[in-house]
Amino acid sequence: MNFLSMDYFVMLAQERNFTRAAEKLHITQQTLSAHIAVLEKEAGSPLFLRRVPLELTYAGKVFLRYAQDIRKDVRALQQELNDAAQNEAGELRIGTAPLREKILLPGVITRFLQQYPLVRFTLTEASNRVLQEKLLRGEIDLVIAGFPKTVPGIELIPYYEEEFVLLMSQKLLAQITAGKGYCRKDIPRRITADFPAVFRECPFLLNDKNSIAGQIAWDLFAENGFSPRIRIKSDNMETLLELCAEGAGAMICSETLAGKTLDRSRFAEMELFRFADPVKFTISFGCRREPHRWSLLDSFIETALACKPEPS
């Protein structure tokens, strides 16, 4: 039983489809099928039920559990041997949310590669929950995300804080205050006990409750006894920010993400309302708790900390 066949098996178990798995592995479907057939012969039992989508047999589920652990151990062995040999090369697998990847990683990776040109990267975009699961399974090495205070099996290193604010375009604020007796300049830019009455006539753009931004927004609404008039829901923060800048609605979002996503001139045309009790969320690096942490992983974290983002 070789490690390459084990890698092929794990990919097929994830994709549940020979064609997709072969494409991701950059091999032919026939090659993949041959490796799986060898594994099944060695296991003495079918590992998959051949239906659409593929299903793991009981033996397949057992094999997957051990295969994932073995692959993690092999990778840890390779990394520790690289450190012993002072070999500054290898693959760093990093997971982030899509928009955070866009604003954080290009600058950090560029700076890192200036010192470690032999390192290659594999980047994964997914929700925080999915990224944590992939990290624990050994499918990625580092997650940059918001985490609960403690996560079993994961070591957290604080990166930076994001403050959540209520954001809307000046155009939208002018529309909802027109003829209503509100003086736009007199509307407090800090939200205290509850949402100012003007916001009760304002359409809102919201993320799903399963996302960080969505959960924070819904919690704030609940705490203030406020029922928003929802115009658009989306999982895509970048799309919502563009719609917000166009005046489609107000939204509660990270000031850092908004400032880094919208160009400077458009961001300058936004009205920003802070909360009297600041709503902040820590973004951290998450890596598996292991006896030895790869030195290149530490070096990447140090590089990122040296150029962490600040609000625009």
Residues making up the chain, counted from first to last: 312
Report residue 85's pLDDT band, with 50, 70 and 90 as the boundaries: low
Instruction: Give CA–CA dist 113/74, Å, rounded.
Output: 25
Cβ atoms of 202 and 229 within 8 Å: the answer is: yes
Which pLDDT does position 137 carry in this prediction? 86
Question: What CATH code would you report for 1-73?
Answer: 1.10.10.10
Per-residue pLDDT at 113 exceeds 80:
yes
Mean of pLDDT values over 97-108: 90
Tokens of 149: 């205070």
Report residue 71's pLDDT band, with 50, 70 and 90 as the boundaries: confident
Which pLDDT does position 154 carry in this prediction? 93
Mean residue pLDDT of the chain comes to 87
Q: What percent of the chain has pLDDT above 70?
A: 92
Write out pLDDT tens, residues 284-308. Answer: 999 998 888 888 899 999 999 998 8
Report residue 193's pLDDT band, with 50, 70 and 90 as the boundaries: low
Return the domain boundaries, the chain: 1-73, 162-281
Write out pLDDT tens, residues 123-179. Answer: 999 888 889 989 988 889 999 998 887 888 999 999 999 999 999 998 898 888 776
Instruction: Give CA–CA dist 296/287, Å, rounded.
Output: 13
How many other CB atoms sit within 10 Å of the CB of residue 129?
11
Tokens of 290: 């292991």
**Position with higher pLDDT, 76 vs 122:** 122
Q: What percent of the chain has pLDDT above 90?
A: 44
Q: Which of 3.30.70.580, 3.30.43.10, 3.30.300.30, 3.40.190.10 is the CATH number of 162-281?
A: 3.40.190.10
DSSP track, 92-158: EEEEE-HHHHHHHHHHHHHHHHHH-TTEEEEEEE--HHHHHHHHHTTS-SEEEEE--S-BTTEEEEE
CA dihedral 294, 295, 297, 298 (to 10 degrees): 130
Mean of pLDDT values over 7-28: 92
Of 311, 298, 304, 261, which Cα lies nearest the Cα of 159? 304
Which pLDDT does position 215 carry in this prediction? 86
Which pLDDT does position 96 carry in this prediction? 94
Which pLDDT does position 164 carry in this prediction? 92
Which pLDDT does position 175 carry in this prediction? 85
Tokens of 235: 């999982």
Cβ atoms of 213 and 221 within 8 Å: the answer is: no
Cβ atoms of 238 and 261 within 8 Å: the answer is: yes
Write out pLDDT tens, residues 215-255. Answer: 888 888 888 778 888 999 998 889 999 999 999 999 999 99
Of 303, 308, 307, 286, which Cα lies nearest the Cα of 144? 286
Instruction: Give CA–CA dist 128/97, Å, rounded.
Output: 7
Coil, strand or helix at 280: strand
**Position with higher pLDDT, 272 vs 86:** 272
Write out pLDDT tens, residues 39-61. Answer: 999 899 999 999 889 999 999 99
Which pLDDT does position 58 carry in this prediction? 92
